[in-house]
Amino acid sequence: MSKKLTSRAEDYSKWYNELVVKADLAENSAVRGCMVIKPYGYAIWEKMQAELDRMFKETGHQNAYFPLFVPKSLFEAEEKNAEGFAKECAVVTHYRLESDPDNPGKLRVDPNAKLEEELVVRPTSEAIIWNTFKGWVQSYRDLPLLINQWANVVRWEMRTRLFLRTAEFLWQEGHTAHETKAEALAEAKLMNNVYATFAENFMAIPVVQGVKSESERFAGADETYCIEALMQDGKALQAGTSHFLGQNFAKAFDVKFTSKEGKQDYVWATSWGVSTRLMGALIMTHSDDKGLVLPPNLAPNQVVIVPIYKTDEELEKITIVVDGIIKDLRAKQITVKFDNRTTYRPGAKFAQHELQGVPLRIAIGARDLENGTVELARRDTLTKEVIALDSITDKVEGLMTEIQEALFNKALNYRNAHITEVETFDMFKSVLEEKGGFISAHWDGTAETEEKIKEITKATIRCLPLDGAFEDGVCVYYGKPSKRRVLFAKAY
């Protein structure tokens, strides 16, 4: 906390990295590409988990837990999925260490403890889960099977960044099996919609719902739904995906069911996930050059109270008043922390809470006690206001809603101002270069054109928006006929 944060204008990427560390959210570990999620960051993730878990259960899903390891022979069963993840798999080959005869006090892998079959550390769990589902599904009475898992996964990424791309990350992965294609498609869309609702109502992040182009699909999926958000530097961030897997895994793992009519058929599948990457989206959507800005719905402490005092006697008097405030706020389900640490001065406390994005700060001093007032400071607008002590509960309750909405609207305005329709490839390039954001353009639907545009501009198709109206046009690159616009952007 000693040094000022780099500003976003100066170096956005550096600003992000510094902020994550200085706000005590996460840090790099001794393991290449793996992070430590610090208590403050983890507390935000826990709030996300709690709400998502509630939404999953409300839509009929149950949690379960499947092994961390996937035997290689299962991993390779669904060919596209295996091919898609093979290049980033951590592989366990041995099950024992022994004393290293050449280095006293050191250990080495015991060459006699080689596994007969290598174990892949799950990069995603379709293979191990579908191998299990085979035993769980016999008849239509076992369907739909609606399972979710909270777990860690490992993808050996070469370039990593805290929260956004780490070798190990935490996530939830839903895996469902259905009688019909229509049901599975409806499930995939439903869960994408759950993600969108969560992003907008809790994270205060507006998202575009859409489907991925074929080349951006999850390996093994027939269709990938997604939610796409826009960061303050004009780059897009894929915040969640929900896949319609067709019968690909059912066939690879031979998962069949007997229908009401007594016929045998393969089941239809979905999988869907969000991860600690959401933390990156949350940070980059709202925060500013002073530090983190958190929406009240996800802030570990929605309110912090800082006493301003010179003597122990003053602190005692303030504490009596604060105890009353806390009681009233907690009765309204508002989480509040009384920062009465004696080891730090008010200025240092203000700086810390600003850096850590506490939505609302209340300061109370001796003069406030005399006047029957308190000072409120909003983190999002950085504005202060002195109010009557006896109006505080209603005022704070109102502000929680107001701040939550203000953050969403600010992000929405920014996002809407950064969706640009372009008709020519020159304009595509200049908008991308000068303004960033989503570019809404006609595309001829071929992977070749998509690849060409990516090669030249580094922009990818983020999605074919679900609410996108169909209209006749010509592809922005080759000029071939097109029936709809898609969203391009540079992306995290």
Closest contact distance (angstroms) between CB of 34 and its own copies is 4
Position among 69, 338, 350, 478 found at the interface with its own copies (CB under 8 A): 69
Closest contact distance (angstroms) between CB of 133 and its own copies is 10
Identify whether the C-beta of residue 223 lies closer than 8 Å to the C-beta of residue 211. yes
Position among 6, 12, 43, 484 found at the interface with its own copies (CB under 8 A): 43
> Is 68 a binder of its own copies (CB under 8 A)?
yes
d(CA 62, CA 324): 41
> Is 491 a binder of its own copies (CB under 8 A)?
no
Q: Which residues, other chains included, contact 196 with Cβ-Cβ below 8 Å and sequence gap of 6+?
A: 207, 209, 227
DSSP string, 155-201: ---SS-BTTTB-SEEEEEEEEEEESSHHHHHHHHHHHHHHHHHHHHH
H helix intervals, 272-389? 277-286, 312-331, 346-355, 366-371
Closest contact distance (angstroms) between CB of 304 and its own copies is 16
> Is 74 a binder of its own copies (CB under 8 A)?
yes
Closest contact distance (angstroms) between CB of 177 and its own copies is 13
| Of 259, 464, 473, 290, residue with least CA distance to 380 | 290
Q: How far is CA 277 from CA 20, 69, 172, 331, in A?
A: 13, 22, 12, 33
Of residues 30 and 331, the one with the C-beta less far from its own copies: 30
> Is 106 a binder of its own copies (CB under 8 A)?
yes
| Of 120, 99, 123, residue with least CA distance to 111 | 99
> Is 348 a binder of its own copies (CB under 8 A)?
no
DSSP string, 430-454: HHHHHT-SEEEEE--S-HHHHHHHH
**Span near its own copies by CB under 8 A; candidates 90-98, 223-231, 319-327, 457-465:** 90-98
Identify whether the C-beta of residue 247 lies closer than 8 Å to the C-beta of residue 217. no
> Is 46 a binder of its own copies (CB under 8 A)?
yes
**Span near its own copies by CB under 8 A; candidates 42-50, 285-293, 408-416, 421-429:** 42-50
Q: Using the 8-state DSSP alphabet, how is residue 266 labeled?
A: E
> Is 70 a binder of its own copies (CB under 8 A)?
yes
Checking phi first, is residue 404 left (phi over 0); if not, alpha (psi -120 to 50) or beta? alpha
* HSE-up (13 A, CA, CB side) for residue 477: 19
> Is 44 a binder of its own copies (CB under 8 A)?
no
Position among 15, 16, 56, 66 found at the interface with its own copies (CB under 8 A): 66
d(CA 121, CA 94): 13
Find residue 265's DSSP bridge partners. 257
b/e sequence 112-151, b meaning 16+ C-beta within 10 Å: eeeeeebbbbbbbbbbbbbbbbeeebeebeebbbbbbbeb
> Is 154 a binder of its own copies (CB under 8 A)?
yes
> Is 30 a binder of its own copies (CB under 8 A)?
yes
Query: What tokens appear for 67 in the block?
Result: 């092994």
Closest contact distance (angstroms) between CB of 258 and its own copies is 13
Position among 17, 51, 55, 67 found at the interface with its own copies (CB under 8 A): 67
Q: Using the 8-state DSSP alphabet, how is residue 123 labeled?
A: S
Position among 47, 72, 251, 452 found at the interface with its own copies (CB under 8 A): 72
Query: What tokens appear for 253 in the block?
Result: 């793992």
Position among 12, 17, 47, 90 found at the interface with its own copies (CB under 8 A): 90
Closest contact distance (angstroms) between CB of 126 and its own copies is 13
Closest contact distance (angstroms) between CB of 37 and its own copies is 4
Of residues 121 and 360, the one with the C-beta less far from its own copies: 121
Counting residues that bind its own copies (by CB under 8 A) gives 65
* Whether the bond into 206 is cis, omega within 30 of 0: no
Of residues 358 and 376, the one with the C-beta less far from its own copies: 358
**Span near its own copies by CB under 8 A; candidates 36-44, 189-197, 264-272, 281-289:** 36-44
Closest contact distance (angstroms) between CB of 368 and its own copies is 28
Position among 124, 132, 404, 460 found at the interface with its own copies (CB under 8 A): 132
Closest contact distance (angstroms) between CB of 240 and its own copies is 20
**Span near its own copies by CB under 8 A; candidates 102-110, 392-400, 412-420, 442-450:** 102-110
Q: How far is CA 387 from CA 166, 338, 362, 374, 381, in A?
A: 45, 19, 10, 6, 17
Find residue 337's DSSP bridge partners. 304
Residues that bind its own copies (CB under 8 A): 27, 29-31, 34-39, 42-43, 45-46, 62-72, 74-76, 79, 82, 86-99, 105-107, 109, 118-121, 128, 131-132, 135, 141, 147, 151-152, 154, 156, 168, 170, 343
